[in-house]
Structure 1
């Protein structure tokens, strides 16, 4: 049975439930959980991206949020979030391990769908102690220097270095290798991490 999602109006008021495929077809607003992992060392701050599997219908082989997923109808936000993190990257966390950074409305169009998401964005300061155990939807996890990522977004550089935490292999990524979230979404995430660092 296809998963059911709660749909919302422009003012983020719940207006009903609908099958996921129809939600994406019709461009209905719906909620997603998103969590960005970041790591802080003496030298720098690094951000973690997952690489989406090649058989994904939307954005195959592109790099995206560390862990994310839809919140099913009747499902609690944190329940959905912790489930997605465990399923996608194999890390078991508690609610207190996550920092909520706010809600961001984003629209993404593809050949197959009109995806309008109410993104419930979280961050997690990762200490590299727990190993990543990726699920079927993910093929790799890489980390990048936060400053290099910002330079890429601002078009100061055309590529950034990325290191796989699974294989240790290094590669270079360009904007075309990333899921095409808008600039202001990425800015929202980076500013949230910077605020957290300034108060820690």
Structure 2
């Protein structure tokens, strides 16, 4: 991946310059990202669509994550981040199709990385059936798609559930997206405050249309 250049900010959200992505992560500089959570009905249940991160990603490889997410590059607005949905999932969404929900500051600290993000959060409800032929994945970023029921997600994050739940979805193969079963527990997701995931479960419960 070519090094990306990002606008960087202080902890009060004031712009302080431009840095490479690698430099922003090594220095712990705040930067902006785009998150789009996709909900829908699958097999008669309300679900959130989770992406399975590529095993080749430099951060959190092979973990389940926001439906679509990415860094906002230097000069981009939060609305420009809608490109991530097209690039990662092949869904031709416009910013008018999604709902802006808010900004969530998030931090992740590990050896050699201090990742401070202002995450611009958007939501989209898929009215069309959630089927594998709807998606065209960027396999450098995304290894699969898993529609996970809201009640399983609630159980996982409200109880820090380490019990394995088998969830169905699709993984990318040389033949295309193929059905698979993935055993998941609370450790199968990108590490974030459990309240973040629970807030999204609650949001979709409150805003989903009738099936």
TM-score of the pair, normalised by structure 1: 0.90
Write out the 4+ residue segments of structure 1 that deviate beyond 4 Å after TM superposition. none
Tell me whether 1:178 sits opposite 2:186 in the alignment: no
How much does 1:128 deviate? 2.8
SS at match of 1:57: coil
Instruction: Name the CA distance, whole Å, in 1 between partners of 2:21 and 2:160.
Output: 38
Note the alpha carbon deviations across 1:148-195, whole angstroms, 9 max, x for none.
111011227423332114322222201121111111211232232233
Give 1:1-200 correspondences, 5 Å limit: 2-40=3-41, 43-79=44-80, 81-126=81-126, 127-128=128-129, 131-135=134-138, 136-155=140-159, 157=161, 158-165=163-170, 166-197=177-208
Q: Give the RMSD, CA atoms, in angstroms.
A: 2.2
How much does 1:48 deviate? 0.8
Instruction: Name the CA distance, whole Å, in 2 between partners of 1:184 and 1:103.
Output: 14
Cα 1:197/1:3, change in 2 over 3 Å: same
Greater strand fraction, Structure 1 or Structure 2: 2
Aligned residue pairs total: 199
